[in-house]
Amino acid sequence: MTSIEETGKDVEEATQKALEQMGLTEDKVDVEILDEGSRGFLGIGQALARVRVTVKEAPTPRPKRKARAKPRAKPKPAPVPEPAAEEPVSPVPKEEVPSAPAAEPIPVATEEVIHQAAEIGQEVLQRILDGVGNDGKVVVKEASDGQVILDIVGGDTARLIGRHGQMINSLQYLVGIITNRRLKAKARVIIDAEGYRARREEALRKQALYLADQVKQTG
């Protein structure tokens, strides 16, 4: 409620009524006299006083001026160090890597060496058979032309041969290494067992002929 009109016997009474309705004091309002009224004569022709009471507008507060922000001081650029004078780099002397000594050539086995290889191979293979409990005996079948053929006679030859000759080939490799290390020479050592090598070679030859015949027929 910002404005109200009220009447009374006089201006003062009308104003007081308006203030009471608005719940304000006189210093908070503006009073406009619309009619001062009249008392009449002996109460005849009396007119009431009428006023308009308006709430004073509160003064609009002036916006506070924002304090001007002080300009930030620009950071001083960091001093750039002057490049140090490059010192001449002396060449690093290359280390001389000693060359590896050339491997000594293995001497070719002579007839005397082959006979020694036969004796060593026979001894090594026999000790292996005895160690695994096999009753086979090792005999020198051939010792010439740079190779030694050792044959196992008797005993459980099937077990010594193994599946597809895997066991006897392993024995041959092992005995050959031991023999050549003892001799410090190269001699080929072949181990056989009651003609197994010949039978195996014949079986492979027949298989090759069979396959060749099949190719011709399907060709």
Write 182-185 long-range contacts (CB < 8 A, 24+): 182/120, 183/109, 183/113, 183/116, 183/117, 183/120, 184/106, 184/107, 185/106, 185/107, 185/108, 185/109, 185/113, 185/117
Q: Where are the domains of the chain?
A: 3-55, 111-218
Same fold, 3-55 and 111-218: no
Q: CA-to-CA distance for 211 and 219, rounded, in angstroms?
A: 12
The answer regarding whether domain 3-55 maps to CATH 3.30.30 reads: yes
Q: In this predicted structure, what is the pLDDT of residue 99?
A: 57
Residue 89 scores a pLDDT above 80: no
Q: Please tell me whether residue 91 adopts helix, strand or coil conformation.
A: coil
Task: Tell me the pLDDT band of 86, cut-offs 50, 70 and 90.
Answer: low
Q: CA-to-CA distance for 199 and 205, rounded, in angstroms?
A: 10
* 8 Å CB contact between 15 and 33: no
Mean pLDDT, the chain, as a whole number?
Answer: 81
Residues 110-130, mean pLDDT to the nearest whole number: 93
**What burial class does residue 117 get, using C-beta atoms within 10 Å of its C-beta: 0-12 exposed, 13-18 middle, 19+ buried?**
buried
Query: Could you read off the pLDDT of 19-52 as tens digits, one per residue?
Result: 898 888 888 888 888 888 776 544 445 678 898 9
According to CATH, the superfamily of the domain at 111-218 is K homology (KH) domain (3.30.300.20)
